[in-house]
Chains A and B, each alone.
Chain A
């Protein structure tokens, strides 16, 4: 998947590189040549009389790079308030921000591109395991930090909730529509995926959110006039492929949901841009009391009155589970007078099985020539899904019960920090 994202990012980079003005093309090439030279330069052996100095970029090229970072900030702003989905604009520190540096890093780490010709070993796709590169200069990282900070939202006036003649609406997974409520799938379990803390009658829970809800969050904060503070996480050493990890703070009213019911909380901190193993992609909520309940879902409403009178009911166990589905727990959430479409939340656990095969005489040309002689469960992971009734006319992406998926979550590779 990472390779695919990288390939897409590289393609986006080429497109971006093509779109720079003709006047900048020479400079762009110079940025590339310069950074390639930096990456291929012999090491400076620092000593008392010869201290290590960071690479210096000539003024004209530096101006171009700074302009590109400013341009990235404006595209990121559009992206954050745009259509939901992974755009890749927060992929890493240079692909979208400084294409010349990114491409230099790519071509000097990809053997096929020439670094090790005629003894290229790797296939012709970018291999991040190869790594690279020189430390990005502080002026570059400072400029990115400034650009990220500029994406923060000031406190403002809340927009009036949309008025509906009938039922209020949920925000859907891939649709950018004005809606009255959102529901994000939570972990539904506690151990190893959620981190609870208690202090002074307050508790907080932090868990991984491995679908990107940044755009939702930004848009909802805007709608409610809530401030959002964004900062670039400063890594000890920033290089061309470092992730852009953004840490955010806000104070958004939300409701946490599990089989016992709904309880009010505030979304206070979050992180996005990297992945769970970078210490990113998590959300943190604070709430009163010292309980540590599992969180099946997080709900947000433009009108807090929508949180009133909600009924949560655990659904009976199904008679038969699907193949390799070890456990399925479901709850149904309904609103009085159907003021919001009902939700169904399914928490599923899947099991990994190790197999042992024994060679057999193939019985036909389609027979693989072996027989399963034993199976052993060696691991399991959960996943949660939030469904609702599809709006009229939208029957796509419905499950076997005719419900529409509006959010999903899963067990992260690394727990939240």
Chain B
């Protein structure tokens, strides 16, 4: 209270009040003329005309001082650090820097607006069969155009696989949903715009290969816009926090342990987190020699590289990404070419085995024609290397920015084997499931958990011509009949976050 009184006395001094007012006026004046670039890249030109020479190309959020506005389009500006002066398009200037959070909020609003405008697929209707009113089509065009621009800015703010993936997904969704021969000029214009942004997508892709050990890394982005939409819709339905279990339903592993309590927060909280990859399918250990020790391949399903890319940023590792088109027989749509992608890195990882954690290194990840594919261009798998052979099956591996002490880690394993009724002479399903729980810091709380559940068919051998062997055998189950599940989750802030998931596929 005494301090406050003293400050009050000081501020009542007329001299100080005048001084303070002058300082404030000076700061306000500087702030009033401060502008930031909102465009992914802004041309600084020598003259207020689009044909004038470009003096510099400024990145997003480049600060500048507004000197004068020549007309509705051109503003004269100067860089505060170098003093470089020139003219920029006034439409791309903002009084405050653009933040990732704000960009995402706006993008989410626009994505929901697009979702609202598109008819639901009930009765198989979509834009080809149930045209929008002219007003709705106009609104969709406006939302689509703005969202494309916003997602370009989002990538500029956070170069990441999520930001790239969302951008390409939006382009593809618009091209796919709007018929090529749409009679609506607004929708057609939106489709053409989405098509015309192929160059931007390619430029984004080219910039993803980075060495994060040099310079400050771009902002982290650990979620896609789709995940944000899911969370938002879920919260609208149920309230609660993102990641909370649903009130009553099937849960994370397809079983119905709906009463499962959320774990208390443990190792992965605040800024500590993990990214990883679950092994599958039919996680036989495939190992071979490697100059650095022994290498293992791990097949996987849904792409966990989004998080692994972010972990490379966090741990300051270089990552090199390359891709090549899949062979022509695997190309189904010229608008949406399919690629085999290869990520090369040197990421320190921990393998999760029944015997504990083993330290190794992730060397590369191929994302091609599926974990079982033998097509040219490679399989979808990862290569990890360890100094010596790993004792026990590798259920998955993870990288983390938290300190991991393998001596403290406690791994608990639960195995179950079950068999569908043998009521078919030819094929019945046999399932082997292993649930693992890993307490990394020894506080009694699970930090990671894995599920490896694999189906095989109990089959009666076919009768062979001229007699011969007949009996029972176990074969991998393929296609719709398989309910294989490979799952790796982390307890992040007391909620289970899925790091890697692979379901329903097997190699035969």
Contact = CB atoms under 8 A, between A and B. Distances in A.
A112 B124 CA distance: 12
Contact of A352 (B225, B227, B238, B430): B430
Contacts of A4: 480-481
Nearest to B225: A119
B100 interface: no
A308 interface: no
B422 A378 contact: no
A405 B423 contact: yes
Contact of B169 (A107, A118, A128, A354): A118
B375 interface: no
Given A2-B483, A116-B229, A323-B471, A239 B418 contact: no
B285 interface: yes
14 contacts: A3-B504, A4-B481, A42-B236, A119-B173, A135-B247, A242-B248, A323-B472, A348-B422, A350-B474, A352-B474, A355-B285, A378-B415, A385-B422, A405-B423
Interface stretch (B11-19, B115-123, B331-339, B361-369): B115-123
Contact of A410 (B239, B246, B428): B428
Contact of B170 (A107, A119, A128): A119
B195 interface: no
A178 to B, nearest CB: 22
B284 interface: yes
B114 A384 contact: no
Contacts of B251: 129, 131
B421 A397 contact: no
A20 to B, nearest CB: 13
Nearest to B226: A119
Interface string B408-428: 000000011111111111001
A379 B415 CA distance: 8
Given A128-B249, A324-B473, A384-B422, 17 more contacts: A43-B236, A114-B118, A117-B173, A119-B166, A121-B226, A121-B230, A129-B250, A173-B423, A322-B471, A323-B474, A348-B422, A350-B458, A358-B287, A358-B288, A359-B286, A400-B470, A408-B424
A133 B472 contact: no
A135 B122 CA distance: 22
B460 interface: yes
B340 to A, nearest CB: 19
Contacts of A45: 239
Contacts of A132: 237, 246, 249
A29 B416 CA distance: 44
Contacts of B30: none
Interface string A140-157: 000000000000000000
Contacts of B418: 381, 410-413
Contact of B248 (A235, A324, A405): A235
A41 B118 contact: no
B491 interface: no
Query: Contact residue range for chain B?
Result: 35 or more
A118 B284 contact: no
B472 to A, nearest CB: 4
B103 to A, nearest CB: 15
A276 B420 CA distance: 11
B256 A277 contact: yes
B291 interface: no
Nearest to A210: B421
B382 to A, nearest CB: 15
A383 B422 contact: yes
A237 interface: yes
Contacts of B120: 36, 107, 113-114
B121 A112 contact: yes
A32 interface: yes
A293 to B, nearest CB: 21
A1 B246 contact: no
Contact of A413 (B114, B166, B238, B416): B416
